[in-house]
């Protein structure tokens, strides 16, 4: 469901005075109207969407807009130089693409609730982002990324089950330690053969997968699961249970139940995929660093 950086940059706009605000990012607002516009861009669901699912979609879309607001702010301060003529070429291409569809640029602006100035500013940030990524993706870095992520490019997969305890952002150190101690006690019982992992997951895991013994199925090394979780999972030996692993989703015990080795890849054959994954991870890491330093106020209830 998550919207891409490029899509969100195109949708982002400056909040008119008096608009209801969904979030404030380093002093800059994201309005409810902007959020509603972003939600309209999502593919229509073929099945009815519950109120809870709509609320979740709204919350996820807002987080995506916050991420992209941070990227826009970064690029405004630190982005590579882009000549106005390059922006105008993008704008002209947009006009041409609309004409090819039998539409006008006015139709596009009305449909997306944007002004020409906002579209041009969005193209500027898109070009800056592309140039920023290009500057990071040197031949040496791409080769090093391939070597460091052979499991990903070899298409190795692992199957895991987990027991997770959720801890809120405002959990105290004592509450966090209590959860860690509980998981380590469960791990000791597993090691002693006092309980089976699936039974422990059913009894303790705070995840919908608890009903099936915590089984999460197969994942590849990156992009399908939280990085901390995936890194720990791929480091395990078959049948091994991890120590406590902390991810954005909580505190986990991870049990490696299967590993399927992939086929050794050659860099020359995987070069396009390496570049794509490098770019995606670079953007993820940039957002993560920007979030650490940002002042973010979510006002949407």
**What one-character-per-residue DSSP string does 238-281 give?**
TT-B-S-EEETTEEEEEEEEEEE--PPPPHHHHHHHHHHHHHHH
Say what the pTM is.
0.75
CA pseudo-torsion sign 284, 287, 293, 298: negative
Q: In Å, what is the CA distance from 162 to each residue of 67, 192, 275? A: 29, 18, 32
% of the chain beyond a pLDDT of 90: 79
Average pLDDT over residues 165-192: 93
Task: Identify the pLDDT of residue 18.
Answer: 60
Q: Which of 165-179, 224-238, 259-273 has the lowest mean pLDDT?
A: 165-179
DSSP for 104-151, please give it: -HHHHHHHHT--HHHHHHHHHHHHHHHHHHHHH--HHHHHHHHHHTHH
Average pLDDT over residues 199-220: 96
Whole-angstrom distance, CA of residue 219 vs CA of residue 105: 43
pLDDT tier at 6, thresholds 50, 70, 90: very low
Q: Is the pLDDT of residue 218 over 50?
A: yes
Task: Identify the pLDDT of residue 299.
Answer: 85
In contact, 65 and 38? CB cutoff 8 Å: yes
Nearest residue to 95 (alpha-carbon basis) of 37, 4, 87, 121 = 87
In contact, 21 and 296? CB cutoff 8 Å: no
Q: In Å, what is the CA distance from 45 to each residue of 42, 50, 190? A: 9, 11, 42
For 236, residues 6+ apart whose C-beta sits below 8 A from its C-beta are: 158, 242, 254, 256
Kindly report the average pLDDT of the chain as a whole number: 90
CATH topology of domain 157-260: Chitinase A; domain 3 (3.10.50)
Task: Identify the pLDDT of residue 46.
Answer: 64
Q: Which of 25-39, 48-62, 140-154 has the lowest mean pLDDT?
A: 48-62
Q: Is 223 left (phi over 0), alpha (psi -120 to 50) or beta?
A: left
Beta bridge partners of 218: 159
Q: Is the pLDDT of residue 297 over 70?
A: yes
Q: Please tell me whether residue 215 adopts helix, strand or coil conformation.
A: strand
Q: Which residue ranges make up each domain of the chain? A: 5-138+278-298, 157-260
Which CATH number does 5-138+278-298 carry?
1.10.4030.10
Q: Which of 44-53, 68-77, 178-187, 273-282 has the lowest mean pLDDT?
A: 44-53
Q: In the structure encoding, which two tokens stand for residue 30, read together?
A: 């994201």
pLDDT tier at 2, thresholds 50, 70, 90: very low
CA pseudo-torsion sign 181, 186, 187, 191: positive
Average pLDDT over residues 133-161: 96
150 half-sphere exposure, CB direction, 13 A CA radius: 6
């Amino acid at each position: 469901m998550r919207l891409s950086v490029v899509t969100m940059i195109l949708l982002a706009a400056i909040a008119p005075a008096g608009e209801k605000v969904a979030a404030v990012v380093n002093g800059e607002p994201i309005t409810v109207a902007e959020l509603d516009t972003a939600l309209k861009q999502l593919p229509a669901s073929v099945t009815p969407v519950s109120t809870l699912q709509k609320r979740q979609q709204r919350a996820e879309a807002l987080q995506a807009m916050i991420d992209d607001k941070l990227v826009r702010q970064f690029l405004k301060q630190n982005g590579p130089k882009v000549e106005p003529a390059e922006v105008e070429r993008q704008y002209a291409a947009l006009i041409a693409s609309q004409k090819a569809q039998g539409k006008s640029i006015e139709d596009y602006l009305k449909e997306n609730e944007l002004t020409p100035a906002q579209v041009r500013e969005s193209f500027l940030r898109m070009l800056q982002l592309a140039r920023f990524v290009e500057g990071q993706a040197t031949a040496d870095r791409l080769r090093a990324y391939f070597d460091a992520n052979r499991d990903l490019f070899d298409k190795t997969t692992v199957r895991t089950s987990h027991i997770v305890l959720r801890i809120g952002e405002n959990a105290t150190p004592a509450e966090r330690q209590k959860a860690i101690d509980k998981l380590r006690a469960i791990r000791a019982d597993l090691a002693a053969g006092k309980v089976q992992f699936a039974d422990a997951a059913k009894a303790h895991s705070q995840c919908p997968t608890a009903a099936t013994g915590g089984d999460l199925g197969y994942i590849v090394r990156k992009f399908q699961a939280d990085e901390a979780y995936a890194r720990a999972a791929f480091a395990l030996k078959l049948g091994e249970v991890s120590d406590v692993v902390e991810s954005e989703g909580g505190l986990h015990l991870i049990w490696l139940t299967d590993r399927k080795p992939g086929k050794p890849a050659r860099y020359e054959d995987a070069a396009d995929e390496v570049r794509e994954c490098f770019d995606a991870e670079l953007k993820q890491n940039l957002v993560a660093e920007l979030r650490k330093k940002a002042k973010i106020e979510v006002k949407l209830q």
